Structure 1
Amino acid sequence: MSALTSSRPSPARRPSYAAVLRVPHARRTFLAALAGRLAYGTVSLSVLLSVTRATGSYAVTGLVMALFGGFAVVLTPVRATLVDRYGPRRALPPMAGAYSALLCLLAAQTWRPGAPPAALAVTAALSGCVAPPLGPTMRAVWGRLVDDPALLRRAYSLDGVAEELLFVSGPALVGLLLRFGPPPAGLLLSAVLMLAGTCAFVTSPAVRGVTGPKREVGGQAGGFPAAPVIAAAGLGLALSGADLLVMAFAEQRSYGTEVVPWILAALSVGGAVGGLLNGAVDWRLPAAERLAWLTVALGAALAVAGLAPGVWFLALAMAATGVFVTPTLTTAYLLADETAGDSARTRAGAWVNAAVNAGTSAGSVVAGLALGRLSVGLCFALAGAAALASATGVRAVTRLRA
């Protein structure tokens, strides 16, 4: 355990979220990581708007977005392995520097119309290749800062809720920026956030104490976190089509697309509430069993959403679904951290992160195809079934390893 660990709370009372931030160096480290991670909340919309404005082609924009997101997802475990091997202070700054420089290049390419699509595609692909894994690294640092299981669960819940809010506030920040400048300004903002946040993060005393592991006999400790990855992939697969399904529901019932953002906001609010409640509950179930039941509840709530007779019921059902989203992800990250050795913590969390994103990408395609052939209610049921199937996979893997 790290020498920085001094976080075991008194057994007489349950640890609070304030206690998490009172852990030495936790507040500074967490805020720095959030500043860098805010770049991920602003960059996707900025790339979308900038490339569309520069090329006037949705096909080119789709290709650029696919390359940007695809390389970021596929190579996440590789970048996390570099962090585990060399430590955050040596691995993250070069990634952040290259990522920020490439975003600035993309901003320059899209500042005026007429940008060559091939050049945009190459820049976007390279940007995705070097995206720093700040989220998995911060969660690995939480594991070193906090040695009490209840307090660590609070820390992970706080991290999950904050990440949820970043992806809500990021697009709003880009929207505000568009009132004063063109879309590429959002790319420049993302570059500044990533570079400044990463530099502040790696200079924190909590991170300065994290170095790459010594060479181990017989390889690195900790295997592939199969159960957390299955749950995360199922969650991404189940929720990926939510935007399309909600929009299809609104259009078929003649509510208009203006209700869609509010319904999706209900999903995000439910996620924030669920994350806070998850950290407050003194769970008795082991993490693996808890993960399976949370995934079942998420799938059931999503299937019920397909039975909605009207928009208010749908909003409530999506909020109820959201209540299980952040706890499912938080538990998956906790279980991955538990099963990983000290030399593979960042990589274990990165596998979970990559699984969510991969499930989201695949599910969007499936949802689009299914909506052309099946009713909206049945599509919601299939999305719920994907989560239920992942719960079955979690239980099977847990039993095999037991």
Structure 2
Amino acid sequence: MTLPATAPLRAAAASDTAVGYAAVLRTPHVARLMLATHIGRLPCGMTPVALLFVAGADGASLAQRGMLAAAYGLAAALSQPLLGRLADARGQTLPLAGGASLSAAALAAVTFLDATRWPAAVCVIVAGLGSPPLESCLRALLPTLLERRPAEVKAAYALDSSAQEGVYVVGPLLATALATTISSGAALLTVTVVGLAGALAVAASQPSRRWRPQPRRDRDLLAALRPTGMSVVLIAYFCVGVAIGALNVAAAGSADRYDALWLTGALPAALSLSGITGGLVYGRWAWPGSRTTHLHALAALFALAWIPLLMDPPPVLALALIAAPGGIFLPLLTVGYQAVTDLAAPGTVTEAIGWLVSAINCGLALGTAAGGRAGPGFHLCAAAALAAALTLLIHRNRPTRPHRETSPCV
């Protein structure tokens, strides 16, 4: 059936009411789609770690290992808008099944190659470029499956964001366990099997096969970026990505200063765990104000939450303080996805979500790369979070131009 799009950005949250996650998961197809999607997303958390082990086993230097893992992440980030555009034009089956098959084949080939040579690097880049747009496709399906009910869509997005954060906790641990107990090749082959199985399950589902976007109004290659407000949201979330990416380096620096190596992994893990909690709390309850108000308020709180960490607290205190930006991060992410979905022009919703995924992931890569040059401490995290809040604040009075999109699904 054909359903109307979500309400415009400034008013969409006004009628939100509290809704339980059980009600969302009881909706036909939602629970199975979420499970399959997150199985398919496990490679996002597993592949970089598995590549580090594979390259290390082949005698690659630390710099080579890092470049190989970074190449995969950057290629995957850059390909998401393009695969999203393909989904908007041809449906979800080709980018999901085709992309996952290409990515799995390329990663499997790496296990038979010398990771220190260029053919392996080419395969890693191809694997990243083929990474299926599971996140974009699921978020394009959810509003239709939930019949555009604002409270349930918000809850579903929050639940999805929290589960996604779990991928980045479980994925690296699983890859490390496989690499250390069996072999690095086994870890990478597991990535290919798990990722392919999840993506094919989503592609084979009835909602995904039947989903069709509304035709685009024009052939403008940048149509997904044209709506007023879209570029502002993307720039702000790029800055959010920089803040989170810089945390990895800041955690390592803090661990060195206090001679507490455990802090290197503990700080990012604590941010993820607090993020899961914050995301679930935000999605479960109704909050006053419009979605635009939520967007600006959460961005401001995210910037303020980094201030105590600028004092370079000792390890245990840092672990407690990181819960503040972590708990705000996933609600901020949830609102960002809702905003992009609302603003997307007809026929561009999957691509628009892909641009947001790309903006965040490119920010993560830049934050990690720049973290070492920004000096010790959490200054880059705080500066990037402040930049995100100011970007939204400066443009707060500019009119948004939300679009409506209908998508026959089931």
Task: Give yes or no for TM over 0.5.
Answer: yes
* Residue 331 (structure 2) pairs with residue 330 (structure 1): no
> SS at the partner of 1:399?
coil
* Superposition deviation, residue 213 in structure 1: 4.0
> 1:133 Cα shift?
1.0
Asked if residue 229 in structure 1 is aligned to residue 227 in structure 2, the reply is no
> Aligned residue for 2:325?
321
Which whole-Å CA distance do the structure 2 matches of 1:173 and 1:45 have between them? 9
Q: Does 1:56 align with 2:60?
A: yes
Q: Which deviates the most, 381-390 or 29-38?
A: 381-390
Q: Is the 8 A contact 1:289 1:395 kept in 2?
A: no
User: How big is the shift at 1:13?
Assistant: 7.1
Deviations 1:33-72 (A, max 9, x none): 1111112121111111111211332232233223222221
Q: Paired residue for 2:394?
A: 396
2: CA distance, partners of 1:334 / 1:232: 13
**Preserved CA contact (<8 Å) 2:17 2:285:** no
Q: What residue in structure 2 maps to residue 120 of structure 1? A: 120
Whole-angstrom distance in 1 between the partners of 2:388 and 2:18: 32
CA contact (8 A) 1:288 1:394 kept: no
Whose helix fraction is larger, Structure 1's or Structure 2's? 1
Aligned residue among 88, 96, 100 for 1:92:
96
Structure 1 residue runs of 5 or longer lacking an equivalent are 6-10
**What code does the residue aligned with 2:161 have?**
G
Tell me the alpha carbon deviations over residues 196-238 of structure 1, each in whole angstroms, 9 at most, x when there is no partner.
Answer: 1111111212212202544545766773522331221111111
Q: Does 2:134 correspond to 1:134?
A: yes
Distance 1:127 1:12, change over 3 A: closer
Aligned partners of 2:85 and 2:350 also within 8 Å: yes
Q: Does the 8 Å contact 1:305/1:317 carry over to 2?
A: yes
Q: Confirm whether residue 249 of structure 1 aligns to residue 247 of structure 2.
A: no
The structure 2 residue matched to 1:339, chosen from 343, 347, 351, is 343
Q: Once the two structures are superposed, what CA deviation does each residue of 1:232-281 show, in whole Å capped at 9, x if it has no partner? A: 11111112121221222232123x20233233322111101110111023
Q: Which residue of 2 aligns with 1:8?
A: none
Inter-partner Cα distance in structure 2 for 1:160 and 1:346: 16
Aligned equivalents of 2:126, 2:69: Cα separation in 1: 12
For residue 179 of structure 1, report the CA deviation from its aligned partner: 4.4
Distance 2:143 2:307 in 1: 35
Q: Could you tell me whether the CA contact under 8 Å between 2:239 and 2:385 is conserved in 1?
A: yes
Q: Is the 8 A contact 2:49 2:69 kept in 1?
A: no
Which of 1 and 2 has higher RCO (CA within 8 Å, sep 6+)?
Answer: 2
CA drift at 1:365: 2.5
In structure 2, the CA distance between the partners of 1:152 and 1:197, relative to structure 1 (3 Å rule), is: same
**Contact conserved, 1:85 with 1:213, CA < 8 A, in 2?**
no
Deviations 1:287-330 (A, max 9, x none): 23321221221121112112254222211110111001111111
Equivalent position to 2:28, from 24, 28, 40:
24
The match for 2:283 is: 279
AA matched with 1:352: L
CA distance in 2, matches of 1:247, 1:12: 41
1:320-379: per-residue Cα shift (whole Å, max 9, x none)?
1100111111111110001113511111111111111111111222220122xxx52xxx
Q: In structure 2, do the counterparts of structure 1 residues 187 and 4 end up closer, same or farther at CA, with 3 Å as the change threshold?
A: farther
Partners of 2:278 and 2:90 in 1: CA distance: 35
Q: Output the CA distance in 2 between the equivalents of 1:270 and 1:357.
A: 20
Give 2:40's aligned residue. 36
Distance 2:351 2:215 in 1: 16
Relative to the length of structure 1, the TM-score reads 0.89
For residues 385 and 392 of structure 1, the distance between their equivalents in structure 2, rounded to whole angstroms, comes to: 10
Amino acid at match of 1:91: P
Question: 2:188 — aligned with what?
Answer: 187
CA shift in 2, pair 1:337/1:4, >3 Å: closer
Tell me: CA distance 1:85–1:12, structure 2 relative to 1, closer, same or farther (3 Å).
Answer: closer
In structure 2, the CA distance between the partners of 1:215 and 1:70, relative to structure 1 (3 Å rule), is closer
Pairwise CA distance, 1:2: 4.0
Residues 36 and 202, structure 2, Cα contact 8 Å, conserved in 1: yes
TM-score, L = length of structure 2: 0.88
Structure 2 counterpart SS, 1:18: helix
- Counterpart of 2:78 in structure 1 is 74
State the AA in 1 paired with 2:189: L
Following the alignment from structure 2 to structure 1, what is the Cα–Cα distance between the partners of residues 263 and 303?
A: 23
* Pairing 1:289-368 to 2, within 5 Å after superposition: 289-368=293-372
Bigger shift: residues 227-236 or 16-25: 227-236
Identity %: 28
Unaligned runs of 5+ in 2: 6-14, 401-410
14, 19, 25: which one aligns with 1:15: 19
Deviation at 1:175, TM superposition (A): 2.4
Distance across 2 between alignment mates of 1:85 and 1:252: 52
- In structure 2, what is the equivalent of residue 170 of structure 1? 171
Question: What is residue 405 of structure 2 aligned with on the other side?
Answer: none
Q: CA deviation at 1:76?
A: 1.7
Change (3 A) 1:155 1:246: same
Query: What letter matches 1:247 in structure 2?
Result: A
Q: Distance in 2 between matches of 1:317 and 1:221?
A: 38
